[in-house]
A and B are shown apart, each in its own frame.
Chain A
Amino acid sequence: MAKVGLFIPCYVDQLYPQVGLAALRILRRLGVDVEYPEEQTCCGQPMANSGCVADAKPLADRFLRVFGHYEHVVAPSASCVSMVRNHYEPFLRGQAGFEHLRRSTFELCEYLTDVVKARKVQGEFRRKVGLHQGCHGLRELRLARSSELVAPAFDKVRSLLSQLDGIEIVPLSRPDECCGFGGTFAVKEEAISSLMGRDRLADHEQAGAEVIAGVDMSCLMHLEGLARRTGKPLQILHVAQILEQARLS
């Protein structure tokens, strides 16, 4: 039995397989005993965020069945990890293994920083990168200090990325404003969602970013869709795709 269950969110599995592979390779290269349980599907977030909790509950049950016995669960998605950690409670309260699952499910960069304790990143990435702070990573998982709080600054994702040779993380005028994806919000409030996204792209552009990187492919799918439609030459990458080339220790 492998130690780590790799949780690849449904839309990453179907639409961004290279992100899943990057996460898998990073973990394997670090010597982590990781496997991908094939019975997994989706964490249930789209249904839960829409208020349709009855439709989300079977997915929470399934998630516990599939992942409950791993020592750790790791996913290249802050939002889906937040679903497990912060929103499974009403579905799985009192069920055997739930407390363990909740405590042991990590976003990839969080896992690298807090569990594997990888402190050194060797490699290069000679590009100007705009770091997109996904809101769920920021405020639900606290991967970094959000700009609203009066507390010492930290940023787990930036600390990993900034060690790469040649990388320049460009300063944004609004360091952690939401991109406007928001799940079904992207469709329900299409106008505001798209405007929020285009405003983020403009901020990254004025900062001189060539690449926009983040830890949630959902935000990035939205930003990529907007960038491609408007013909912007920005490259959109998941942080795992950048770290994949590096040596972590």
Chain B
Amino acid sequence: MDHAKSAARFAADEARTHWHDQALYSLRGKRDRAAATIPEWEQLRETAARVKEHTLSRLAEFLEEFERNARRNGIQVHWARDGEEHNAIVHGILARHGATRLVKSKSMLTEECHLNPYLEARGIEVVDTDLGERIVQLAHEPPSHIVVPAIHRKREEIGDLFHRTIGTEAGLSDPKVLTEAARQHLRQKFMAAQVGLSGVNFAIAETGGFVVVTNEGNADMGTSLPPVHIASMGVEKVIPRLKDLGVFLRLLARSATGQPVSSYTTHFHGPMRGGELHVVIVDNGRSQSLASEVFRRSLACIRCGACLNTCPVYRRSGGYSYSYLIPGPIGSVLGPQRDPAAHASLPFASSLCGSCSDVCPVKIDLHHELYAFRQVLVQKGLVPLRKRLAMAILGSVLSRPWAYRLAGRLLRWIVPRLPRWLAYGPWNAWGKQRELPPMPKESFRDLVRKEPP
């Protein structure tokens, strides 16, 4: 799927695109106001970046330290090479308990592993309990944003969806009423669940505990009612010490939603009495990224979504225009690392404005990574031949001053003489919505000779 095409489809509904753009830009505004209350914000970002850089430089050691300490806490630790292994481990735990009902709180990793369809095919009812996640699950859609998964849906549409799926009355659109309806619906699911699954925001090597950050308390409900809790984490989620956690918590909620701290920040240090706590540590391609000096930095991501909210392209093209499940700038760096051919258009889905890099709380230089990945795609032959040829010709003309001068003169002579239908034919993508620039008779190099010294 080419980003440009799906983006154009999304943006064709201009009123809706502007609504989407504004909804996300206001999140960016909230982030700005929250960040501005912390005078040492830039120092925090720098510290977070350094902690992540250090952690990634000896990731295996920190993961093993986490495993040792987690086991000491009575946590059962599992290692999964890829999504398939992860899913099999989760299913194995469910099967051992004869469980058929699982409640899940937000986890992009389980989306990445396609856990829901895997379990559903094996007769397990999986209920996403984050409100936004539940909305997209009921609509049979993937999340369109990593923090606000149903941001692309208007509340009237959610009213319709709830009416069709969970039997609310028709025509609801008040967010409070809709939330209450979801709460009642989810309460039943929480009470009936046999196993709860959560993601992991930070796993602390030093203590062997981990932290889950939510706003709705659904992770807490889902992991404290059923006796078995499974937590899925990517290998990059580990941080060295408990005291590093404060740095990230101060950055995370402010960057994500502009809150000083999320409503719930829950620390898990062992199973509940009589229960089980499992942590599944997943690689799924991450160690490949770790091997790359350039793209390793993308593993520092704490999934705040700030780069999505600030991205002028994401805001106007929507989450589904991106072929990878994580959209926006960070997804356009992560997706092509996993599968360059499938996501070859993503590094080009950016004007390289750099807002993502400046907003990123862990200072991933996202726009430079996008720039760099374009080279990888050219090397792999995944950029259309037409474009590569055009660039080769352009490069060759520009390398010869005489050819450059001649080409410039020809262009400036011909274009004004072309009939409009020819100059603005379907081959002129520039001219679809834009006039061509003026074509002056003389170039700067012609005119500069006439300047008095």
Main DSSP-derived SS at the B contact region: helix
- Closest Cβ of chain B to A242, distance in Å, is 18
Are A195 and B408 in contact (CB-based, < 8 A)? no
A15's closest neighbor in chain B, by CB? B437
> Contacts A148-B310, A148-B358; is A62 near B399 (CB within 8 Å)?
yes
Within 8 A of A (CB), among B216-266: none
Q: Which of A25, A59, A136, A229 contacts B399 (CB 8 A)?
A: A59
> Contacts A12-B444, A150-B36; is A229 near B435 (CB within 8 Å)?
yes
Q: Which residues in B have their C-beta under 8 angstroms from that of A183?
A: 351-352
Q: Which residues in B have their C-beta under 8 angstroms from that of A225?
A: 430-431, 433-437
> Contacts A50-B383, A51-B375; is A14 near B411 (CB within 8 Å)?
yes
Total of A-B residue pairs, C-beta within 8 Å: 219
Are A38 and B401 in contact (CB-based, < 8 A)? yes
Whole-angstrom CA separation of A199 from B371 in the bound complex: 25
Whole-angstrom CA separation of A36 from B451 in the bound complex: 11
Whether a CB of chain B sits under 8 angstroms from the CB of A64 is no
| Total interface residues in chain A, CB < 8 Å | 76
Whether a CB of chain B sits under 8 angstroms from the CB of A182 is yes
B367's closest neighbor in chain A, by CB? A139
Mark interface residues in B342-360 (1 if CB within 8 Å of A CB, else 0).
0000011111111101110
Are A13 and B443 in contact (CB-based, < 8 A)? yes
Whole-angstrom CA separation of A242 from B375 in the bound complex: 38
Are A139 and B357 in contact (CB-based, < 8 A)? yes
B354's closest neighbor in chain A, by CB? A139
Stretch from B3-11, B74-82, B113-121 that touches the partner:
B3-11
Q: Which of B375, B445, B451 contacts A53 (CB 8 A)?
A: B375
Whole-angstrom CA separation of A71 from B21 in the bound complex: 46
Whether a CB of chain A sits under 8 angstroms from the CB of B124 is no
Mark interface residues in B1-45 (1 if CB within 8 Å of A CB, else 0).
001100110011010011001000100000010011011011000
Mark interface residues in A211-238 (1 if CB within 8 Å of B CB, else 0).
0000000000110111011000000000
Within 8 A of A (CB), among B410-453: 411-412, 429-440, 442-448, 451
Given contacts A151-B42, A190-B8, A191-B8, 7 further A-B contacts (CB under 8 A): A16-B437, A24-B451, A55-B395, A146-B358, A148-B358, A178-B355, A224-B435
Pick the 4 closest A-B CB pairs, nearest first.
A182-B351, A51-B374, A225-B434, A55-B395
